Amino acid sequence: MARAIKTRSSGRNPAARGARAAHRSGNSAWSIRRARGVQVMESRALARLGWLVHGFSTRPGGASEIEGKPALNLGFTEWDERTRVEANRKKFLAALDARKMPLVTLRQFHSDAIHLAGAPIAEPPNADALITSTPGLLLGVQTADCVPILLVDTRRRVVAAIHAGWRGTLARIAVKTLGRMRMEFGTSSRDIVAALGPSIGRCCFEVGPEVAQAFSTQFPPAADWFDGPFEQLAHGEEPLWLPWLTMMPPGHVPPPPRVQLDLRASNRWQLIDAGVPGKQIDVSDACTVCQADLLFSYRREGAKAGRMMASIGMRKP
């Protein structure tokens, strides 16, 4: 137990302080815009750019129905009708004032695959990140706990939408997307403005030893992103059963130890490590699990969960 506590306090390095500061400023850097009967979350840093269209959808409103309430499900899920999802997408695009912009989406599979979109496409490609430099095209990724990340190169005018769950985060999908923007368009990290939308918070994202171990081997500051017995799980040490055994009634097996992961902090750190200035990264602190009235969560709702969409594009001049 002492070891776990020590791990927490040793996590106070400059990177961790930066993450917390951004978390605090995250509140004031976000706003909710109401339009067409739906609520769209906006990053103020992105909203300042007049040539840009962006927004993170939320749950209320829409033609779908969950527990008797209208819901804005934007994903073609098994439980919902296609026509309702299409109506919801129309409504969301209208709320973004982007009715005429063709929407490019993905068949997401928790990968680090990136699709460069130059024109509207009929079939969603298999990937977890989208990039475009074409004005008039709208990119969309779907989430229901994973971190939606929008990137804007304000100088070269290139935008990206990324879906980062724990697998994508571990595979550094945001940094790989930035690398692809650099390769294709000459993007410089210091020109990037990033927004990390609503996702499962550190408060609710319990993971097992395999995730702790994977992050521990990949990232030096990984311990800062976990609460609980991280060192113990990450390094495969024998769990300290004795305190549990004395607390538990006889015959009760102690639960396997779990830790909680801060996916946003990891993605933010990766972007900073790749040269994006911390003050240009907006992080929403809204938790999809905690805010049941506002957001969808796969963790909370399982197969019956709706999908939110994070969208970005550039208006035609």
Which residues of the chain form contacts with Zn ion (CB under 5 A)?
201, 203-204, 287, 289-290
Nearer Cβ to Zn ion (289/309): 289
Identity at 232, one-letter amino acid code: Q
Helix (H, G, I), strand (E, B) or coil at 153: strand
Residue 62 or 165 having the CB closest to Zn ion: 165
In angstroms, the first-to-last Cα distance of the chain is: 60
Spatial contact of 74 and 40, defined as CB atoms under 8 Å apart: no
230 close to 212: Cβ distance less than 8 angstroms: yes
For residues 271-305, one letter each, b for 16 or more C-beta atoms within 10 angstroms of the residue's C-beta and e for the rest, the string is bbebebebebbbbbbbbbbebeebbbbbebbeeeb
Task: Give the shortest CB-128-to-Zn ion separation in angstroms.
Answer: 23
- Beta carbon of residue 14, minimum distance to Zn ion (angstroms, whole number): 26
For residue 287, the 8-state DSSP code is: B
Nearest approach in angstroms of CB 292 to Zn ion is 10
For 131-144, letters b (16+ CB in 10 Å) and e give bbbbebbbbbbbbb
| Residue nearer to Zn ion on the CB measure, 53 or 289 | 289
Judged by DSSP in three states, 67 sits in: coil
How is residue 68 annotated by DSSP? T
Q: Given the complex with Zn ion, which of 119 and 203 has the nearer CB atom?
A: 203
Query: Judged by CB, which is closer to Zn ion: 96, or 287?
Result: 287
Question: What distance in Å separates the CA atoms of residue 220 and residue 67, rounded to the nearest whole number?
Answer: 44
Nearest distance, CB of residue 311 and Zn ion, angstroms? 24
CA distance 301 to 61: 18
CB of 124 to Zn ion, least distance (A): 30
Residue 92 or 166: the one with the smaller Cβ distance to Zn ion is: 166
Nearer to Zn ion, 181 or 287 (CB): 287
- What is the closest distance, in whole angstroms, from the C-beta atom of residue 157 to Zn ion in the complex? 35
Q: How near is the Cβ of 301 to Zn ion at its closest, in Å? A: 14
